[in-house]
Structures are given as structure tokens and as C-alpha cells.
Amino acid sequence: MRLLLVEDDPDLSQDIARRLTQAGYAVDCAYDGVSAYDLGSVEPYDAVVLDLGLPRRPGLEVLKAWRADGRRMAVLILTARDAWHEKVDGFKAGADDYLGKPFHIEELLARLDALIRRAHGSAGGVPLNTGGLRLDEARQRAELPDGRAVELTGTEFRLLRYFMLHSGRVLSKDRLTEHVYAFDADKDSNVLEVYVNRLRHKLGRGVIETRRGQGYVFTGVIDDRPSA
């Protein structure tokens, strides 16, 4: 999941970015309204965490501009301005959720998770479960139908979550790369192949099918026993 964090306080931004990365998100940071708008207009983010009191361009204006441009990514407003009229105006501008400062990172994570699941049409709060394969997001590991847990690295976890949220759909390498890596990460599609193969190795060959010239499809079928 790729995520844009817009927060002008560098300390706080660094803290939140670290925790979001730990939770398996590929995080880009913007520190003012203008660069936030530019990044959000170009990069295919799954979600944006947006502060309202931003230098150069107010957060609410950035959000309105994105929506006017037809950008539909989930936006969570994270702000100290949490009077009810501000919340109303925030939702009117196109926000999907609103969280007041100060907050616990767990709450932010829970809400982001719910937002992203909602955007993909699945209910939040329940672990992702496809064809008997469960994703334990808190511990960043997968559980096989026989109850065996499989540990995942950060990138593997992000990739698997994206696959599971788009189960049964053809996903191009470019799209996967864009949603799994942060903006400044090395985006070599060969590296993506390596991670797809690692997931197949851990979960079973049939779990991800290759469509030549198109990309990959997540089937969730655990056909043969993967080597431990």
C-alpha cells in the first residue's frame, strides 16, 4: 500500500512515517501544501494522511483540488483543528475520515486499514482472508489454512496485502511497483519478480498466476505444499 503523509512538523512526520512503514506501508512524505498537491496528483497513492494547517497551501484546498481533478484516493485528515464545523467542512471537501490530534498511532493504523479496505470493497476490522489464506496485519505474517504461520518481510507483506485486496484481478508489474514501493525507492520491475517468486515459494506456486504480457493474478489457491 502506498501512502502519502502530509505533515508540516518534521519530528512528527518522521515519527508517523516510521510507524507507518513498520506497519507495512510504503510512505512518501510531503511537508507543505504545494508539494503535497503535486505528489498526490501524479503518484497512485492508496491513501493520504493530510494535515490541514500546512504552509504554502491549506490542506483543505489541496483536498478540494484533488477531488476536482478526479483523484479518488482515500484521504484521512489528521489535524489539530477538530471543531465540528471543521470536520463538516473537511468531509464536504472530500475527506473519507477525520482524526484529531493528539492521537495514538494504533488508532491511525486502524482507521487507515479500514479506509483502504473500504476503498477495495471489503469490511474493515476482519482479517483479510482469501481462499483460506489469512493475513495477520498486526504481526505482518500470513496464516495458511492448516494454521501454520509464515513470516513475511516488509516488502513481501505489502505486496501480499495488495494482492489480497485485489484478489482475482490482473495487476500489471508497473501498478504493483507503484503501490508497493515508496517514491524514492528503487523501482526495478525485476526486483518485483523476485518478491513475487518469494511469495510463491512461501505460500505455494498456484497462489499467484502469471499472465504473460499482462501481469499477475492472485488466486489464493494453496495447491501444493510450499517448502518451509
Partner 1 sequence: MTGQAPSLRRRLTLGVGALVATLTALGLALGGIGLRQALEGVLLERLQHDLDAVIAATTVAGGTLRLHEDQLVPVYAKVYSGHYFRVSEGSDVLRSRSLWDADLPVPELAAGERWQGGAQGPARQPLLILAQGVRRGERTLVVAVAEDVSSIDRWQWRLLAGSVLFGLLVLAAILVAQSVLVRHALRPLNQVSAQLRRLQQGELAVLPTAGVPAEVLPLVERLNAALELLVARLERSRKALGNLAHALKTPLTVLTQLGDELAAPQRARLEQQVRAMHATVERELKRARLAGAATPGQRFDLRADLAALADTLARIYHGKALRIDIDAAPDASFAGDREDFLELMGVLLDNACKWARARVAVRVALADGLLVSVEDDGPGASAEQMATLTARGQRLDESTPGAGLGLSIAADIVEQYGASMNFERAALGGLRVVLRLPAL
Would you tell me how many other CB atoms lie within 10 Å of the CB of residue 24? 24
Q: How many residues bind partner 1 (CB under 8 A)?
A: 32
Residue 83 found at the interface with partner 1 (CB under 8 A): yes
Alpha carbons 38 and 50: distance in angstroms, whole number: 14
CB of 102 to partner 1, least distance (A): 4
Closest approach, Cβ 47 to partner 1, in A, equals 15
One-letter amino acid at 61 equals E
Q: Which residue number, 34 or 114, has a Cβ lying nearer to partner 1?
A: 114
User: What residues between 99 and 158 interact with partner 1 by CB under 8 A?
Assistant: 100-106, 114, 118, 124-125
Binding of partner 1 by 211 (CB under 8 A): no
Alpha carbon distance 17, 26 (integer Å): 9
Contact with partner 1 (CB under 8 A) among 92, 139, 148, 201: 92
d(CA 86, CA 67) in angstroms, rounded, equals: 18
Among residues 41, 42, 72, 80, which is the contact residue for partner 1, using CB under 8 A? 80
Task: Identify which range of 15-23, 151-159, 196-204, 218-226 contacts partner 1 by CB under 8 A.
Answer: 15-23
- Tell me the DSSP string of 69-132: HT---EEEEEES---HHHHHHHHHTT-SEEEESS--HHHHHHHHHHHHHHHTT--TTSPEEETT
User: Which run of H or of E encompasses 136?
Assistant: strand 133-136
Q: Which residues bind partner 1 (CB under 8 A)?
A: 9, 11-12, 15-16, 19, 53, 79-81, 83-85, 87-88, 90-92, 96-98, 100-106, 114, 118, 124-125
